[in-house]
Every structure is written in C-alpha cells, then in structure tokens.
C-alpha cells in the first residue's frame, strides 16, 4: 500500500512555517508576525479553516521551527524578521538563529539559546524517547544536531543528505527530516545517519516545510500556500 497525501485545511496565518501537534490540537506559527496559533484538529468549515482555540505573541523572528516538551513551546528564530516586517529589539541577529523556550499560555520567553555552531535554523524536535534533548537543524553545516538542554551541549551530529532542511519528527525507529527545496522527507537512522526511508512530495501537492506527528501519520505545513497536509501510509 502506497502513501497518500491529503490537504486538511488552511492555516490561520498567511505564511505558516512550523507546526506541532499537542493534546489540545495543532500549534501553527506565522513567519511574518511570529505569532503562534492553537487550532482544532477537525473538519474545516466552509472557509477551509478550523476553529482557533487561542493565539499568542512571541519574541521570535522569521519563525521557522517549533517543538513541544509537554510544558513549553520551543521556537526556532531563523535570523531577524526584516524580510517580513520592521526589525524588533527581540529579533535574532541577521544571519544567525536563536532557539526560544516560551510559555504556551502567554508567549513569554522562558529561555533563549544560540543555534549550535551559529548560522540559521529551521525545524527542531523535542526527543520523545530521550527527555531533555532537542534535535535541531543546523543549516550552516548541513547537519542535524542533538542538543542536551541542560548545559546546552551538542551530544550528536548527523550529516544531512540535502540542503534546506526543515521540519523534524523523531519516531521510534529513526528521525524524519524535511528537505523543502528537494520536496523529500527522509527518515534517518539516529546513530549512523543512514537513510532508512523517504517520502517524495509531488509538484502537484503543497510544498513541505514544517513537520509533526499526527497519530500514526505525519502532518506538514506549506508556507507558500498556507495548506496543512496529512501523509498517511
């Protein structure tokens, strides 16, 4: 049985660049305003969207990744927001990324960390099998880095097969990484980095950017069209 790609609904923002499923629904970030919306995972209404549960601000910028550790949301600030809006004092520096831990009720920043090795960042993932660790796309070196939050220490680095790595999802038998420009989502062995599986997204479907688990399936967002899309199989 092959995989199926299905449009679910449109995001509440124009440029949704990251998403994360939680028990309440689906968090989606806006790359322009850096706000974060929690929406219902339900059938869309006549306008093609689902109900907004809440919407919070953040001190992120050019937000391109998101993760959830059960207590905090984590946002990947990929440089400043000059492409989209006036630069704010809280923006990351141009050409550099920051990782922000934020309060999911208010958006207040709890902690801010530099991207390991400097450079930009897109997707990231809290490791559900190894508490206290984040997987972060370290774009400058075309790698995926596993970072221990306590002490902010890199403990593992995997080379990535393509440029422009984006969304990341850790599963029991590997880690999925989106490569947006190549329209592929590859599953890598977490020890060796060897490719275990791949999903190719056809040109006829929305382009993959952010990535999250959705039960046994995967769900991604397309920052160019605004679609939230499910991959099954």
Domain ranges of the chain: 4-232
Give the tens place of pLDDT for each residue, 150-209. 999 999 999 999 999 999 999 999 999 999 999 999 999 999 999 999 999 999 999 999
| pLDDT value for 2 | 80
Give the tens place of pLDDT for each residue, 63-98. 999 999 999 999 999 999 999 999 999 999 999 999
Query: Between the CA of residue 146 and those of 12, 55, 105, 130, 173, what are the distances in Å?
Result: 31, 29, 27, 10, 16
Phi, psi of 89 (to 5 degrees): -60, -25
| pLDDT value for 97 | 96
| pLDDT value for 61 | 98
| pLDDT value for 70 | 97
Which CATH architecture describes the domain 4-232? 6 Propeller (2.120)
The answer, yes or no, to whether residue 1 has pLDDT greater than 80, is no
Give the tens place of pLDDT for each residue, 101-156. 999 999 999 999 999 999 999 999 999 999 999 999 999 999 999 999 999 999 99
User: Per-residue b/e over 49-63, b at no fewer than 16 CB within 10 Å?
Assistant: bbeeeebbebbbbbb
State the pTM of this model.
0.96
Percentage, residues of the chain above pLDDT 90: 99
CA distance 111 to 120: 18
The answer, yes or no, to whether residue 9 has pLDDT greater than 70, is yes
Residues forming a β-bridge with 157:
145
Give the tens place of pLDDT for each residue, 20-64. 999 999 999 999 999 999 999 999 999 999 999 999 999 999 999
């Amino acid at each position: 049985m092959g995989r199926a790609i299905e449009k679910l609904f449109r995001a509440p923002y124009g440029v949704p660049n990251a998403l994360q499923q939680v028990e309440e629904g689906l968090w989606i970030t806006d790359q322009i305003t850096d706000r974060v919306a929690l929406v219902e995972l339900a059938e869309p209404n006549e306008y093609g969207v689902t109900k907004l549960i809440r919407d919070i601000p953040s001190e992120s910028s050019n937000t391109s990744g998101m993760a959830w550790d059960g207590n905090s949301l984590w946002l990947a600030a990929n440089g400043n927001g000059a492409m989209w809006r006036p630069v704010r004092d809280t923006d990351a520096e141009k050409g550099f990324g920051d990782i922000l831990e934020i309060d999911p009720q208010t958006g207040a920043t709890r902690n801010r960390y530099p991207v390991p090795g400097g450079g930009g960042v897109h997707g990231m993932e809290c490791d559900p099998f190894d508490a206290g660790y984040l997987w972060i796309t370290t774009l400058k070196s075309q790698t995926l880095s596993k970072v221990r939050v306590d002490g902010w220490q890199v403990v593992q680095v995997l080379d990535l097969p393509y440029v422009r790595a984006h969304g990341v999802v850790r599963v029991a038998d590997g880690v999925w990484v989106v490569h947006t420009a190549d329209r592929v989502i590859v599953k890598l062995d977490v020890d060796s980095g060897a490719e275990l599986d791949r999903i190719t997204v056809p040109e006829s479907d929305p382009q993959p950017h952010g990535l999250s688990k959705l039960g046994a399936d995967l769900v991604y967002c397309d920052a160019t069209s605004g679609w939230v899309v499910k991959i099954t199989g």
